[in-house]
Structures are given as structure tokens and as C-alpha cells.
Amino acid sequence: QAQLGESGGGLVQAGGSLRLSCAASGVTFSNYVMGWFRQAPGKEREFVAAITARGRNTRYADSVKGRFTISRDNAKNTVYLQINSLKPEDTAVYFCAAGSWSTSQYLYDYWGQGTQVTVSS
């Protein structure tokens, strides 16, 4: 059974940094595109970043380009999201997901339960 587990969220001041991690089990991790999504209160879940199965290509939402970096370690079955220059509007629950090369949440098959990121101004 596939399981994804996020960690690394927390409360930070604007301008700060966090590194989110997502560990996978029960799936052949290196076969999957990995993505990060986020959902703020009262808003739809939105795409943040994705990385191809071998880590050769990445893509980002325009709102996070230059501040967020996605990476993966297939030997550890883990994907990361380095978040720098945090803004209050980055406050959300962050989810990792395994699926296909897409910005659409509907093309991701497996999801973690999310980790809360709160940015204070």
C-alpha cells in the first residue's frame, strides 16, 4: 500500500525558510513524477512544483519561481521542497503527491496527508 508522509512544516516569519520532506513507501518511487501542492484556507488546492522521475526536469508555479526548489533522492525515496523568502501568502497545507507529469492534481495517484506551513508577517 502506497504511503507518502510529509514533514518539515511549521511557523516562520516572513522572509524565512523551510525545507519540507516527503518520504514514500509501498511504491516504486523512482517510477513516479513527484509533485508538491498546497491548499490555503477557503481556497482550491494548487500546484506548486513537480520533478520528473529521475530528477532531470522540474517545473514551478509562477508564484513560487525563484523562491522554491524541488529535489529528490531516489535512494531514500524522498522528495524535498526548499522554501525560501517565505511570504504570508505562502501559508497553506503543503501536500506531496506521486503521479504523472502535470500541474493538475487529478493526474496524481497517491497523496500525503499534508504539513502545515504558517508564515507570520
Position 1 confidence tier, pLDDT thresholds 50, 70, 90: confident
pLDDT tens-digit map of 87-100: 999 999 999 999 99
How far is residue 39's CA from residue 48's CA, in Å, rounded to a whole number?
10
pLDDT tens-digit map of 9-39: 999 999 999 999 999 999 999 999 999 999 9
According to the model, what pLDDT value does residue 102 have?
Answer: 97
